[in-house]
Each structure stands twice: as structure tokens, then as C-alpha cells.
Structure 1
Amino acid sequence: MSAKKTPLYDEHVKLNGKIVEYAGWLMPVEYEGLVAEHEAVRNDCGLFDVSHMGEITIKGKDATKFVDYLMTNDISTMTDNQVIYTLMCNDNGGVVDDLLVYRYDENYLYLVVNAANTDKDFEWILKHKKGFDVLVENISESVGEVALQGPKAQKVLQKLTDYDLDKIKFFHFIDDITVAGVKAMVSRTGYTGEDGFEIYTDSEDIAKVWGEILKSGEEENIKPAGLGCRDTLRFEASLPLYGHEFNDEITPLEAGFKYFVKLDKQSDFIGKEVLKKQLEEGLKRKLVGFEMIDRGIPREGYEVYKDGEKIGHVTTGYHSPTLKKNIGNALIKAEYTEIGTPIDIMIRNKPCKAQVISKKFLNKKK
């Protein structure tokens, strides 16, 4: 099956974006360069095409009850126009996907899921809807989405809308406002650790919004930003990536996301008993942050050793553009996870010294 193109594909080509295949989509990995784009988002602002993400709507009188049954977080506590981060687990407690839930009202919830998992998620949701009065629709094809991220994001976006963006609190959204002359839904969310917005429109309107945001941000040093810095930014901000920090075999508890697993919520959810048992018995492996002491950049999949024994693997590793250090995340045996523990990362078949540090690489408010 050939790779899909987002509605902004031609814009990326015009901007000389370096196109790669990602999650079945042709996407820009970088334009000017990963570090320049990363620094633009940390210091000014950057604009990402995220139209490859999946959107699934759940409507009906059991919408909240059904989504609460699918998710680890407590969906029943959400208020209208709130956004919540959550995980959707399988029967073994592994992660089907991590996603955002947008609540319009108790009968209408809007899920934003990972591009690579959209079809899988949709099938999983349909498989479990028996007994719930809901209508489930995959509307991904009709939705375009961009993410404007960075300390100057609000200043840039405010020029394009009459709506007072101060009114949108962190992890909240407003629908049916006009951005660059186009009807849009805008949320104060993102995947970089910075303030910013995600803007959703009909797919045929997103190119206009993209172009107008880049124009509006010229004075603020805006840059179009690719998948490369999206990954380094989220990683520095301790935000997980599906397929790395967790997957169908790694539970949210092992990955350190217990905060989003509400084992005490009133309703049952898929995987709850397994996760409860895992917590009671104690975790056998945990996700840690680490910093290289020896030279070398750790990469996903590299093996982690302690005193000659293999104890786990690297889930994400980079040279951090902000911290100017080689750092990573690793899933390792629980007994070696104390901060300061020396470990070895196998880089090109050679053990390189590293030590366990906090996963909170950056101290950011958001």
C-alpha cells in the first residue's frame, strides 16, 4: 500500500522539506535542520503538520460511560471543553495507544489518536462497543491539523483570530471560532513541553491556516518544524512516544505513567485488574532516564547492562539540543532504577558508561 499524503504535502515540498515515510504517511522530517527547528520552538515558535493524526468521534447517551470503560484515566470527571491525556489498555495491561480525549458534552467525545494506530484503535473501539448506546466514527480523512508551539505561539495566533486566546486554559479547547478566515477548533495542547495550540479544520482549509500562521509569525522568527525536532522536543519534556516508551507489551505503570491510571475510579476499565495486580506485586521493570558519561549517542533498542548482566534496553536516545548532553530513556530491571546508579549502554558492541537520572530532563511549567 502506498504512503498517504497529508493535505499539506505540497506545502512541505515548496518549503524544501526533507520527506520521509512515517507511520504510513509522507511527512517532513526537517526543513532547515533539526537543531534550528528545535531551538525555534524552545525560544520562539514552530509550526508542525500533524494532519496524519487520527480523529475518532464517539456520540450517544453512553458516550462518557463507554470511553471511561476504554480508558485508564477518569473520563467521568471531565467538564465540557476539557481535554484529558489517557491510555487505552488491552486485557493484559499493555498499551493499545496513548491519546487525547476532548469532551464537547457528556454525549459527545472526540479522540485524537496516534497516526500509526488509527485503524487499530478504531477496530479496538468497535470491538468493545457492544452493550453501549454509542455511534463511533473515524473522521480522520476529513480533518486537517497543525500544531503551533513555543513561547511566542499565542502572540502569533492571536493576530489571526478575534477570539481572546487567554480564555483557553491549558488542556482546554474552543470550537467553532475563526482562524485566518477559516472555521476551526483550537486547543491549548501540544507535544513539545512548550505553551502552544493545536488547530483543527476541515482538511481542505488547513493549507490556508498553515500559510497564514507562517506569515503571521515572520516577526517572531517562526519556523516550519519537522518530525525530527518533534521527537527531540517531546523527549526532552519527558513525553512518551508510542512504540518506544510503551507498546502492547509495556504497561503504563512500567513506563512511569501511574498518574494517568485511575485504579480507584468507580467504573471498571479494560486491563484494570492486571494493572492492580502488577502494582500490588511490585513492578519488575521500570522506565528511567539516563545520561551518558562516556562518549556516544544512545539509540532506541540498544541493550543496557549492569556488571555484565543485560538488564533492559533503550527506548529513546538523543543528543539533547537544549541540554547539550547525550541522554536517553531505558526500560530496565526495577532493582537498578535508583537515581545515580551506574549502568552501561552497548554502543557498537562496546559498553559505554552512563548513569540513571530523573526522566524530567527539562524543568518546564507545562
Structure 2
Amino acid sequence: MSHTGDLKKTALFDDVVKAGGKMVPFAGYSMPVQFEGIIKEHHRVRTHVGIFDVSHMGQILFRGPNAEKIVQKVTTNSMACEVGRAVYSPVLLPDGGIIDDVIFYRTGETEWLACVNASNKEKDFAWFVKQADGECEVIDQSDLYAQIAIQGPKAPTLISRIFGAKAAELRPFSFIELDYKGANCIVAATGYTGEAGGEVYVPNEVASDLWKELLAKGEDLEIAPIGLGARDSLRLEMRYSLYGNDIDETTNPLEAGLAWTVKFDKGDFIGKNALVAQKEAGLKRRLVGFVIDGKGIARQGYKIFSGDDEIGVVTSGANSPSTGVAVGMGYVPVDFTKTDTRFDIDLKGLRRAPAVVVAGPFYKREA
């Protein structure tokens, strides 16, 4: 059953429904949670190629001589990069809490395009406008673009067929702008699955044409449309954080495993003082990855115990289709964060499942 009602529809809504998408409400949009089945779709991306309608994501443009100054102010990572490069960065509150995690694309010397999470679009836009304070233009372009993710080991072949070899050979976090049916679009070597491929930002008016062409030219590559369910299991296997689960305004980058995105030497930025203070005081908790030893699946909100002591909470968890093991992430005190540390996950009060801390992604592609 499709849930539409007052929900927004992406430019690809009709194509997605026609392809058999099971529609559910997500961040104010009617989005496909699955097509042929989450596990099948998951394996399709790991072995062949899948395309995702992620047009619910937001795009916010910073433009003007002071755009770099403002973008540096609102991010923890360094934005000192060339045109044609993208940078992943948290955006923080003054207390260090994470407003959102964002990819910033440098589209010109004085221009940046930020891709923000769907559930945070309005919040992010208001925050950016406030922080810019008239020093540069901040323009919400979310309703102008569709976004299609093309992911999987066969994705570069498909991207090359439609956009040319240069687009398929981009190094990670690079992008190019090119013409597609008379419309300017961005092809970026970014993604949320751990696989090869990219993400395409395309004006709404030609989005359906691109979706259809991808399915047609990818048929011999065994392409399939992929829903949000598999998107979540794919990102969890790579231990990529999901905003609203693993990170939010009550967490900071240092405890969330995102210290690599914090450049203390880049100059001042919002939240810097709070992070410096916490670094000096020492972290009290950290986000860890764990695997369940035996049966049971950890879900968001499940409590973590050491003996009789409640020590933390699960933020994400599922059965990993690629490994067949139940995996998860959660916040625990720093004393419980070393690899091979053991604790228990409370499964709705019914029983406890033993778990062990592991390092790195849950899934590693074989060379």
C-alpha cells in the first residue's frame, strides 16, 4: 500500500512507483523502502549495480566573495580545496553538538553546493542564513534538483556509458559538471554504500529521462532500483553514521568517530572551543561497532549492559546481509571501546545477547 497523503513527491516518484517501489513516509516525502526485497537489493549493489532515488536530500548554495569564509565558519573540516572537489564535514552548534553531516561541493572559486540530510533541510538552511548574516548568498535549491545514486562494482561501466570515461574515472570526492539533455548536472564520486560509483545531481525536468536511460543501458549489467531499506543496511555494514540514529545534536564528532573531520588548525569555526575543551578533559563515551555473538539483532534504542550495569545504548543495528552476522553501533564509556571488549545487548527485556567490539567496517570487499 502506498502512503502519499500530504507527503512530498520527488521528480522520480512516478518512475519509482512504476518500478514497483513500496512507498513509505520518510522525512516528509513518499519514498521507496524496497522494490524486489531489501536483502536482494543489498546483494545487487554489492555484486552488480543499483540506482537509488535520493532526491529527498537537500541542496543549499553558498555564493559570493565571502562564501569560503562562511563555509569554513560553519564546518569542522577544512574547505581549502580546488574547484571540482568535495568535502565531508559535520556542522556544529556552539556546544559541539552535530546539527548535520554534510557534503560540500566546491562548484566555483566563490561558490559551494552543500548536500544536506532530508530531515534537516529547513533547520540547516535557517542556520546557514543566520551564520552568513548577509556576507554571502545562501540559496535553498532543494526543489530544483533530483539526486540519483549509482552504486556497485558495475557502476563505473554504467556511468561511462552515459556520461563518458572521465566521469567514471573520478577519484573519490571529486566531481565534474556536464551537460545532460541540455541541462547542467553534477556527477560526483561520492556515495553511502562503500561501493564504486557516484551520485548525480540533475535538474528535475530531465531526471526521469536519466532514470530510464540508466535502467536501459544497465540492463546487461543486471541493474535494479534500490530502496531506502537496502541503503540503510549497506551504510551500516560500512559503519557510516546515520543522522538521527548515530549522530545528532546531543553527540559531537570526537565521540562519534569523526575526529578525522575536525581540523583544529584551520582557524576558528563554530563549536571549536567546545571540542577543544572536551579534548583536553578527555572523552567520556565513544561510538563503537559491535557484532552479536550468537542469535539476536540489536535495534536502535536497545540498552547495553555490563553485568547488571546499564552502560550505553544501541544507535543502529541489523543483520548484515553480506556477512550473515548481526551487527550494530552504540555509545559506551571509553573503558568499553577497545577491540574485543565484551558486553550484552538487552533485547526488549526478553533476554540478553552477548556482543563484542570490533574495529573498522563490518564488511570488507575482497581484493
Q: Shorter-chain TM-score category?
A: over 0.9
Question: CA separation in 1, counterparts of 2:169 and 2:192?
Answer: 21
Deviation at 1:294, TM superposition (A): 3.1
Identity across aligned pairs (percent)?
A: 38
1:176–1:161: structure 2 CA closer, same or farther, 3 Å change rule? closer
Aligned counterparts of 2:194 and 2:165: Cα–Cα separation in 1 = 24
- Report the Cα distance in structure 1 between the residues aligned to 2:365 and 2:57, rounded to whole angstroms: 25
Taking the aligned partners of 1:331 and 1:171, their CA distance within structure 2 comes to: 28
Aligned to 2:160: 158
1:320 aligns with 2:320: yes
Q: Deviations over 1:277-333 (max 9, x none)?
A: 111111101001111113111101100000111111001001000011001001111
2:112 aligns with 109
User: Does the 8 Å CA contact 1:7/1:203 hold for their aligned counterparts?
Assistant: yes
| 2-structure distance, mates of 1:44, 1:319 | 21
- Aligned-pair CA distance for 1:152: 0.5
2:157 touches 2:168 (CA, 8 Å); kept in 1? no
Q: Any idea what the Cα deviations from partners look like across 1:4-35, whole Å, max 9, x if unmatched?
A: 11111111211121100011110000000001
* Structure 1 Cα separation of the partners of residues 202 and 66 of structure 2: 27
Maintained 8 Å contact 1:149/1:194? yes
Does the CA-based 8 Å contact 1:313-1:330 persist in structure 2?
A: yes
Q: Structure 2: which amino acid aligns with 1:235?
A: L
Report the CA distance between 1:182 and its aligned residue: 5.1
**Partner residue in 2 for 1:294:** 294
**Partner Cα separation in structure 2 for residue 117 and residue 324 of structure 1:** 33
Q: Quote the residue 1:347 is aligned against.
A: 347
* Alpha-carbon distance in structure 1 between the residues aligned to 2:318 and 2:188: 29
Moved more, 112-121 or 356-365: 356-365
- Asked whether 1:49 is paired with 2:53, we answer yes
The Cα shift of 1:364 comes to: 4.8
Counterpart residue number, 2:305: 305
Q: Tell me the TM-score normalized by structure 2.
A: 0.95
Q: CA deviation at 1:3?
A: 1.4
> Which whole-Å deviations, capped at 9, do the CAs of 1:324-363 have from their partners, x for residues lacking one?
1001001111111111111010002022211111142123
Show the 5 A alignment for 1:83-122: 83-122=86-125
Distance 1:153 1:5 in 2: 26
Q: What is the match of residue 207 of structure 1? A: 208
Change in Cα spacing, 1:289 to 1:153, as seen in structure 2 (3 Å) is same
Q: How does 1:245-324 map to 2 (within 5 A)?
A: 245-265=246-266, 267-324=267-324
For residues 333 and 136 of structure 1, the distance between their equivalents in structure 2, rounded to whole angstroms, comes to: 39
Aligned residue for 2:175?
173
| Structure 1, unaligned runs of 5 or more | none
8 Å CA contact 2:74–2:91 kept in 1: the answer is yes
Conservation of the 8 A alpha-carbon contact between 2:77 and 2:90: yes
- Following TM superposition, the consecutive aligned residue runs of length 4 or more in structure 1 with deviations greater than 4 angstroms are none
SS at match of 1:128: helix
Quote the offset at 1:165 in angstroms. 2.5
Give RMSD over aligned pairs.
1.6
- Mapped partners of 1:317, 1:4: distance in 2: 28
Counterpart of 2:14 in structure 1 is: 10
Q: Does the alignment pair 1:198 with 2:199?
A: yes
Partner Cα distance (2:366, 2:197) in 1: 12
Match of 1:71 in 2: 75
1:161 Cα deviation after fit: 2.7
SS at match of 2:158: helix
Q: Distance in 1 between matches of 2:164 and 2:280?
A: 52
| Greater displacement, 1-10 / 295-304 | 1-10
1:33 aligns with 2:37: yes
* CA–CA distance in structure 2, aligned partners of residues 134 and 365 of structure 1: 46
Structure 2 unaligned regions, length at least 5: none
- TM-score, normalised to structure 1, is 0.96
- Render the CA deviation track for 1:139-185: whole Å, top value 9, x for unaligned: 1001111000011001112222345324522111111233x675421
**Higher mean Cα deviation, 182-191 or 292-301?**
182-191
**What is the one-letter code of the residue matched to 2:33?**
V
What one-letter code is carried by the residue in structure 1 that aligns with 2:111?
Answer: Y
Query: Within the alignment, does 1:80 sit opposite 2:89 as a pair?
Result: no
Q: 1:160 aligns to what SS in structure 2?
A: helix
Matched, 1:136 2:138: yes
Q: Hey, what's the Cα distance between the residues in 1 that align with 2:343 and 2:102?
A: 32
Q: In the superposition, relative to structure 1, how do residues 240 and 196 fare at CA in structure 2: closer, same or farther (>3 Å)?
A: same
